[in-house]
Amino acid sequence: MTTDSWVNETLYPDWGQRFRVVRELARVQSEFQDIMIFESASHGRVMLLDGAVQITEADEFVYQEMLTHVPILAHGDAKRVLIIGAGDGGVLRRVLQHRNVERAVMVEIDGEVIRLAKELLPNIAGGAWDDPRAEVIVGDGIDYVRTAQAGSFDVVIVDSTDPVGVGEVLFTEEFYGNAARLLSERGIVVNQSGVPAMQADELRDTSLRRQTAFADVWAYLAAVPTYVGGYMTLGWGAKDAASRQLPAKELRRRAEAAGILGQTRYWTPEIQAAAFHLPPYIAEHLPTAG
């Protein structure tokens, strides 16, 4: 492509964003989805799946930090973390920044996403692929959670596309029920729940499904510029409601012990404590009051 080329995101039929393309790096039709990676003029390298922006080098840290650090620090003693999806490796990298994590299992259904991320987006994961605590599986996350041993993980992080196509099965009652079974006593599951201004149904429906398996169901906020539409919500399911009610002082203590304090670009103890306080236009789509 030439510098006069543009890529238009196709997530919404009536609204979107576009990027000026400096250079197209890859366009692959995998067994599961259309994968495109290009060098943009404004946001570094960008990955699209089926025409929807998944990650950009410019703002990936917002999403990755909030999806990862919030549940791990809320738990307080998470040693075993399961990651579903997240083929770019960014969540795996953030999980492994926690020195107390002993085992991180990542299950990504599309091996082409991993291959292309390693080749063309190496800065996203850094050295996470080679960390001895990491186990990377190319396989079906649904099958993995269905057969995993009860109580074998402390935190489950789901980083998937929206609940259509290959990602749809990761937003079902069956999935959340199996996630609750494989989680330990104070276990937590988080997943992206869309931008409520445009995807309120996604937040409402997935929260209702989590409610069948978890005592505490809520959501928290992250502002990711390239996930257009205002705040993005990250869905939350916990066995212990106290996990999301921690003061910034305690979160700071835990972050220091974990070795991530001062190492982040978006997450702070105060940001985490505040992220669960939702504007009314978002809270009204949740089935429970927090």
Is 159 annotated as catalytic? yes
What's the rounded Cα separation, in Å, for the pair 42 and 173? 39
- Residue reference for tokens 């990542």: 106
Indicate which residue of 50, 88, 110, 159 is catalytic.
159
- 232-238 and 183-192: which strand pairing? antiparallel
Which residue spans within 197-255 are E strands per DSSP? 216-222, 232-238
Residue 26's CB: how many other CB atoms inside 10 A?
Answer: 14
Please tell me the distance from the alpha carbon of residue 109 to that of residue 35, in angstroms, as a whole number: 13
As a whole number of angstroms, the distance between CA 32 and CA 224 comes to 26
Which residues belong to the active site? Answer: 159
